[in-house]
Chain A
């Protein structure tokens, strides 16, 4: 059974903290994505990666960075968390090929609260 896992379902952090959100997939997918989901705004792409050590900015990369050192793992980093980064974060992966063409497999999400 294909799977995308995220390190935490719920996370509470303080303003200014450095936050790591981890995502692991076991499907040998080249493409991986980080989205944030906010009420009334749908899903917005933060970053995506089409290969190890490769990354592309999405629509809202400000305040975030990513790391992809291994094919199966894609990390989202909040360098200095702020309250406006309180949100649901969703990780996804998809098979090789043009990013977005194929079905994406999603993780369960991490609900991050920044106090």
Chain B
């Protein structure tokens, strides 16, 4: 079975702090994809990144970085020097080839509040 766990329900940080959002996944497949989406207060989910299981290179995009570790089945997301505009709900998601009825399995999300 496929599963995504985002243990942090809510996080609150002060602007300019760094923050890491955790994502732990479960799958028996060797080929799978991991995603992060951002849902700002407007409601529309926005794609941030996709990673396949064969590419463990970490990725950096501006203030955002992702750490993919197959050994711990984790795909954590770090925001450096957080800003108020980063306040949103962030979802981690998993797609395995043997996903069954659900092509993409989402975690329950982490609500990040960045306080000025």
Contact = CB atoms under 8 A, between A and B. Distances in A.
Contacts of A40: 9, 108
Nearest to A4: B44
Interface string B10-38: 00000000000000000000000101010
Q: Which size bracket describes the interface of A in this complex?
A: 20 to 34
A14 interface: no
Nearest to A109: B43
B108 A41 contact: yes
Interface stretch (A18-26, A70-78, A79-87, A98-106): A98-106
B42 A108 contact: yes
Interface residues of B, number: 23
A23 to B, nearest CB: 13
A114 interface: no
A42 B103 contact: no
Interface in B64-116: 91, 95, 97, 99, 101-104, 106-109
A109 B44 contact: yes
A59 interface: yes
Interface of A: 33, 40-45, 48, 56-59, 88, 90, 92, 98-109
Contacts of B44: 106-109
Contacts of A48: 103
B50 interface: yes
Contacts of A109: 43-44
Nearest to A38: B108
A93 to B, nearest CB: 12
Given A42-B108, A108-B42, A57 B101 contact: yes
B109 A103 contact: no
Nearest to A108: B44
